[in-house]
Amino acid sequence: MKIIHKACLSMAITAVVAATLGFAPAALAQDAPKKIARIGLMVQDMSNPFFSAMTKGGKKMAAEIGATLNVQDAQLDLSNQNTQIDAFIQQGVDLIVISAVDEAGIEPAIDRAKAAGIIVVAVDTPAKGADAAVMTNAVQAGEKSCDYLFTQMGGKGEVLLVDGTPIQTIIDRIKGCKNVAKNYPGIRIVGQQSSRNDRASGLAVTTDMLTAHPDVTGIFGMNDPSALGAVLAVEQAGKAGDIKVTGVDGSPEAVDELKRSGSPFIGTATQNPGEMVHQAIRIAQDIAAGKPVASRTVLIPSVLVTRGNVAGYPGW
């Protein structure tokens, strides 16, 4: 009798906690959805064309499977993403696809979503607690972009790295760049500063670094917006003929820049934001159908696009 009494008391306490916090703990969560009918897509910053392309891919895939899609822009703010997840829980979505601003910081909100029976798949960068993640092979992207840059520099010279916000995919691109730098003893990385992943801050940090390091002949931007900001800094400094710039994304703006005569921008390693969301939704459908997930992390290969092959690149 005492055991039964304790069990009932434990259940009562659990129910009170759930009611107080506004969600059911994982052990009491409703079953995962049998069909993906309502999708919440969370992007980091809609001002970045990458996330516009991700949204476009999400809309296409949602229409294909007969689902609704609600897109939310975090504006690079973790608190916004927390609020957005709570809103999705209240709306009763079946799937959240998230490009997390903070891989670890978003975990409690993801736990709340999963406790409510919502499937969560991360895209572009990992998110702790997510059921799966679909990303570019970011280390490979950094390696491809920088290997091409260093080769075009003749294997020697001073290089700047335009870094970004400290999320895993950006950390991995910088890691990839530094990996290949070890193969070029004549290359010296003399400066590294973080942008906010956009063109304006890419321009600002590159301008600062060029002032401190006027003999630089190569710049790697960890995404296309920051790299194109670096291009502006190079041109404003009157060094367009002396410095080469590469990026990562394969964005429409990067394609236009590769086609612009006289631009310092010479290459970009691709991502495929639409395909990330496409694969994320497919994985969620398998989870909903009770099928095992083949891999919790899916890495999409990166391809180098240069002036020489840009005409054949399909783009986003």
Residues 166 and 151 both lie in one domain: yes
Residue 27 has a pLDDT of: 31
pTM, 2 dp: 0.84
Rounded percentage of the chain residues whose pLDDT exceeds 90? 88
The mean predicted confidence, pLDDT, of the chain is: 91
**304 beta partners:** 269
Residues 192 and 89 both lie in one domain: no
The count of structural domains within the chain is: 2
What radius of gyration do the chain's Cα atoms show? Answer: 22
Q: Which phi and psi angles does 205 have, rounded to 5°?
A: -70, -35
Taking only the tens place, the pLDDT of each residue in 138-166 is: 999 999 999 999 999 999 999 999 999 99
Residues 147 and 193 both lie in one domain: yes
Residue 293 has a pLDDT of: 85
Residues 39 and 118 both lie in one domain: yes
Token reading at 32:
């995962």
Residues 125 and 65 both lie in one domain: yes
Calculated CA dihedral for residues 300, 250, 106, 277, nearest 10 degrees: -60
Assess if residue 49 is contained within a domain. yes
Residues 238 and 286 both lie in one domain: no
Residue 30 has a pLDDT of: 45
Residues 125 and 155 both lie in one domain: no
Q: Residue 98 maps to which CATH number?
A: 3.40.50.2300
Q: What is the DSSP letter of 31?
A: P
Q: How many CB atoms lie within 10 A of CB 66?
A: 9
- Measure Cα distances from 266 to 253, 259, 315 in Å: 13, 9, 16
Assess if residue 15 is contained within a domain. no
Residue range 115-142: mean pLDDT, rounded:
98
H or E segment and range at residue 100? none
Taking only the tens place, the pLDDT of each residue in 5-61 is: 333 333 333 333 333 333 333 333 345 567 999 999 999 999 999 999 999 999 999
Assess if residue 10 is contained within a domain. no
Assess if residue 107 is contained within a domain. yes
Q: Which residues form the domain of 208?
A: 138-272+305-311
Residues 35 and 121 both lie in one domain: yes
Residues 63 and 167 both lie in one domain: no
Residues 203 and 281 both lie in one domain: no
Assess if residue 8 is contained within a domain. no
CB contact set of 221 (below 8 Å; sequence gap of 6+): 162, 195, 202, 227, 228, 229, 230, 245, 246, 247, 248
Residue 34 has a pLDDT of: 77
Assess if residue 225 is contained within a domain. yes
Residues 77 and 178 both lie in one domain: no
Assess if residue 61 is contained within a domain. yes
Assess if residue 95 is contained within a domain. yes
Residues 36 and 127 both lie in one domain: yes
